[in-house]
Chain A
Amino acid sequence: MYEGAVQDLIDELGRLPGIGPKSAQRIAFHLLQTDPTEARRLADAITRVKATMRFCVQCHNVSQAEHCRICLDPRRDDTLLCVVEEPRDVVAIERTREFRGRYHVLGGAISPIDGIGPDQLHIRELVLRLDAEPVAEVILATNPNVEGEATASYLSRLLATLEVRATRLASGLPVGGDLDYADEVTLGRAFSGRRDVGI
């Protein structure tokens, strides 16, 4: 245990994902020794992200306003809706410049081990959107791993009952990989070669 504020900082850092006690200690002492303006920049960035960023009420992507920039963009194709697991997947797909439709972020994938079922994801909101928006095709772009495939399968069954056309990105993504890691060329090709997944 260290005195006062240093220990508080170590405790807070240790709560972050992927940071163990040793890393927390190293970062804390790095910050302690660093230039005050640099440390202030980090503190400000954290404060600002909490004060100004939120999740888009329509697509659940990260957003500065109630609606994100993509949802507000009138040049986007309303008939195409791409369903992804996380905001970072939106970034990965946007980089390919292959997709001009809109997005829906689920907030994860179905995983009984982690206690995540359909009700824990933004699936009900997806159904409401399909009712309200002129969507003609839903592209299931969940990750090409076991949980992503199961989620896509669940959604394709659901969409079949709603009589909405569903497609899945063509394979060619690395096995067991995350969408995020897929290089832009592969991901771009996956978009042009997507296939129907009707039940």
Chain B
Amino acid sequence: MLLRRIELTDVRSYDHVSLDLEAGVTLLVGRNAQGKTNLLEAVHRLATGSSHRVAGDAPLVRAGCELGVIRCRLETDDGRERRVELELASGTRRTRTRVDGQQVRRAADALGVLRVVLFAPEDTAIVRGEPSERRRFLDDLLAQRRPAYAAARADYDRALRQRNQLLRDARAGRLPAGGTFTTALEVWTEQVVAAGAQLIAARVAAVRTLAPPTDRFYRELADRPEPVGLVYRSTAGAATATSGADDARVPDPSAIVAGLRDGFVARAEEERARGLTLVGPHRDELELSIGALPARGYASHGEVWSLALALKLATDVLLAEVGDRPVVLLDDVFAELDEVRRERLATACRGFDQVLVTAAVEADVPLAGSRVEVTLDAGVTRLRPREPGPTGVEGAA
């Protein structure tokens, strides 16, 4: 998939810009705080449904404006042209989404039309943050891979909220005890298990797919090339834990269903006492390790950073299994690396169909491709595409 054109109107620091893009590498160069990240953020929002920096769409609208518009035109691998347009509101109005000129009924219908992988400094939270960060990493990735995952995820969240409410009501004595409660709880457990097993199966398959390329990218990027481990530790039991590619790729859903049911039986009393659902994919963990140690809490800044980037680069493999390969967005990545690793990352970038890279210093990025200068002028970001010339750093590649 190729992103052919980006158009922003009243988005963040942009009043109005349009940028035409080619296959391969596009480098956005400019000092910090000129608006480079804002551009990647807008593309990421359009592709995935959320900003990587803020919750909600209102902050993306330029200060003082009522509406902001993000438009992207892309070309699929089979040569079709597609357009996605978002009209973001600064107030409480919902964002309007158009795909190929048609307004969509649900915002989710626009997800995955444009596919991207973004790596930004915030992504180190995937490695060093709470387990919820790693679950969200898997969920966002799987939703972009197949919209059906997002639907299963929504069903799961809904069933989980209902079951938690029932447990809270029971704890507060707001329910008739006995048969009615037991049956009602069984009914909601069944809903949670049905949707939850789908999520766990997809996550386990994702982890199995991600493990080998993550390990490969990490060894290329890190100072010390130690092996990296990915283990999905599920409340559904050991049946779903995995670390290697030797296991069958998609786990047997009936084993997960059985594992979840056993988990609910084992923790029934605790759930009643706490008024909370304690079994299911919302409590699972993706464990990351470097060498023999867990990455979280033990890894150095450099290791955290390399592992987060390796995970993100590996997602290309997962997305490419179903549909087009994603557009890769790298926000301020090269500055963190020494020369040897810059060259390795550059090699990885040349393997992707299209890469948008931001950098403060052009010479940090040893990649040929088009250059766009990003400058802030009286609070408004300007983009100036530049023809690749002899002053470029292509010679370094």
Q: Does A147 contact B (CB under 8 A)?
A: yes
Taking a contact as CB atoms under 8 Å apart, the answer to whether A146 and B191 are in contact is yes
A145 to chain B, nearest CB (A): 8
Q: Does B17 contact A (CB under 8 A)?
A: no
Taking a contact as CB atoms under 8 Å apart, the answer to whether B166 and A157 are in contact is no
Taking a contact as CB atoms under 8 Å apart, the answer to whether A153 and B191 are in contact is yes
A164-199 with Cβ < 8 A to chain B: 175-176
Once A118-B180, A176-B151, A176-B155 are accepted as A-B contacts, the answer to whether A113 and B187 lie under 8 Å apart by CB is no
B160 to chain A, nearest CB (A): 10
Q: Does B159 contact A (CB under 8 A)?
A: yes
Chain A interface size, as a band, is 10 to 19
A128-164 with Cβ < 8 A to chain B: 145-147, 149-150, 153-154, 157-158
Q: Does A117 contact B (CB under 8 A)?
A: yes
Cα of A147 to Cα of B184 in the assembled complex, Å: 12
Which chain A positions have C-beta within 8 A of B195?
A: 146
Q: Does B394 contact A (CB under 8 A)?
A: no
Q: Which chain B residue has the least Cβ–Cβ distance from A155? A: B187
Scan B160-200; emit 1 where CB is below 8 A from any A CB, else 0: 01110110010000011000100110111011001100000
Q: Which chain B residue has the least Cβ–Cβ distance from A149? A: B191
A8 to chain B, nearest CB (A): 27
Contact of A113 among B162, B180, B184, B191 (CB under 8 A): B162
Taking a contact as CB atoms under 8 Å apart, the answer to whether A117 and B187 are in contact is no
Taking a contact as CB atoms under 8 Å apart, the answer to whether B155 and A113 are in contact is no
- Quick one: which of A110, A112, A117, A176 has the most chain B CB within 10 A? A112
Cα of A150 to Cα of B163 in the assembled complex, Å: 11
Q: Does A25 contact B (CB under 8 A)?
A: no
Contact of B159 among A119, A146, A175 (CB under 8 A): A146
**Do most interface residues of chain A lie in helix, strand or loop, or is the interface mixed?**
helix
Taking a contact as CB atoms under 8 Å apart, the answer to whether B165 and A112 are in contact is yes
Which chain B positions have C-beta within 8 A of A150?
A: 159, 162, 187-188, 190-191
Q: Does B224 contact A (CB under 8 A)?
A: no
B174 to chain A, nearest CB (A): 9
Contact of A154 among B154, B165, B187 (CB under 8 A): B187
Cα of A112 to Cα of B176 in the assembled complex, Å: 13
Q: Does A96 contact B (CB under 8 A)?
A: no
- Quick one: which of A110, A117, A118, A119 has the most chain B CB within 10 A? A117
A177 to chain B, nearest CB (A): 11
Q: Which chain B residue has the least Cβ–Cβ distance from A113? A: B165
Q: Does B283 contact A (CB under 8 A)?
A: no
Which chain B positions have C-beta within 8 A of A157?
A: 183, 186-187
In order of increasing CB-CB distance, the 3 nearest A-B pairs are: A112-B165, A112-B166, A146-B158
Spell out B's residues near A (CB within 8 Å).
148, 151, 154-155, 158-159, 161-163, 165-166, 169, 175-176, 180, 183-184, 186-188, 190-191, 194-195
Provide a sorted-by-A list of 16 A–B residue pairs whose CB atoms are within 8 angstroms: A112-B162, A112-B169, A112-B184, A112-B188, A113-B161, A117-B180, A145-B155, A146-B162, A146-B191, A150-B159, A150-B162, A150-B190, A150-B191, A153-B191, A154-B184, A175-B151
